[in-house]
Structure 1
Amino acid sequence: MNSLERLSRWVGLFSLWFGGLLLMINIGDIVMGVVLRYLCHAAPIWTEELARFSLVWMVLIGAAAAFLNGDQMSIDFVVNVLPPRGKAFCRFLSAAVQVAVLGVMVWFGAQNVMGGWKMKTMALGVPKAVPLTAVPVGMAMLMAVVVGKYLHDSGSGREKR
């Protein structure tokens, strides 16, 4: 296993644990908001914003772990009937398109983050760049996992499921 594959595995594991932590924060925040609304007839406005931001971060960070575990949707009925060289080409083409799209998302996401440092969120008062950073970070993590998985699968000669 080369260093890029190891990095991919580490990113996937980090994605899994950090996504789980964000899920616990999200659930705790929502439960607290519901309980406070029930008991006090009002909840702090920041609970809704924190729930939204933690959900966005959880989905974008968790995408790397989902990809690494094979939990993404794929339509491969055409690829399955191809000869081995055709399958290898389709795997390469798929990985190349994914990396290109993710690269564009990282680039434009980073540009969006740069413009968000001066604006503050309504309830929490944090810079808008904090929730916006989920896009370039999550997509960069997903890109690392895509490249690592492709290298691992093509290096070991395994067929993609």
Structure 2
Amino acid sequence: MSTHYLHGKFSSFFTFISISCIAIDVITLLGGVFSRYIFGSSPIWIDELSRYLMIGAVMLISGVVLLEGEHMRLNFIDKVSSKKIKTFIHLYQNLIITFVFGFMTYFSFTYAISIYKFTTIGLGISKSIPMFSLPVGFLGLFICSFMSLLKSISNLLHMVRCQQGLL
């Protein structure tokens, strides 16, 4: 299985889920506005559900944005003229962000598990349920950064082989 195939499947799955969250969010908010103007009040859970859906949509799409190269980053590296230095900087960057996203996945997962006894005010569900969007999002970022790290290692090995005259 190629990384291009995995990239496409990963991107389409998380894009679909994120767009679904935003669509449900818009429908929920429109229902709240409708009920406020028709009945004079809206259910308390609409604001809470809207917030959780928006956070979930952002966390789920962040891995796709990272894979597409559109995530927030410093682009001074692209201006470096030496291919060797650029390759090492990309490798270092990908190593660091893979470690950070792995740590954040673990930390947010343990936090989401630790608050399972507490319930939300409006929806009355366990706070762990909406909080799991964080570890899922960070896991997506970890997977994407790991794929970028593998690509950086491949580029480095290719550069070494070219310098040794093996290619």
TM-score between both structures, scaled by the size of structure 1: 0.87
Structure 2 Cα separation of the partners of residues 123 and 20 of structure 1: 24
Matched, 1:147 2:167: no
- The answer to whether 1:18 aligns with 2:48 is no
What is the alpha-carbon root mean square deviation over aligned residues?
2.2
- Residue aligning to 1:83: 82
The reply on whether 1:28 has 2:9 as its aligned counterpart is no
- Which residue in 2 is equivalent to 1:42? 41
4+ runs of 1 displaced by more than 6 Å?
A: none
5+ residue gaps, structure 1:
none
Larger RCO, structure (CA 8 Å, separation 6 or more): 1
Q: 1:5 to 1:98 in 2, by over 3 A?
A: farther
Following the alignment from structure 2 to structure 1, what is the Cα–Cα distance between the partners of residues 104 and 21? 22
**Residue 12 of structure 1: CA displacement?**
2.2
Correspondence for 2:161: none
Change (3 A) 1:15 1:144: same
TM-score (norm 2): 0.84
- Give yes or no for contact 1:79–1:90 (8 Å, CA) kept in 2: no
Alignment of 1:94-109 (within 5 A): 94-109=93-108
- For the pair shown, which has the larger CA radius of gyration, 1 or 2? 2
Q: Tell me by how many angstroms 1:149 deviates.
A: 3.3
- Mapped contact 1:45–1:123 kept (Cα < 8 A): yes
- Unaligned 5+ segments in structure 2 are 157-167
CA contact 1:12–1:145 (8 Å) conserved in 2:
no
Q: Deviations over 1:105-130 (max 9, x none)?
A: 11110110111111111111111001
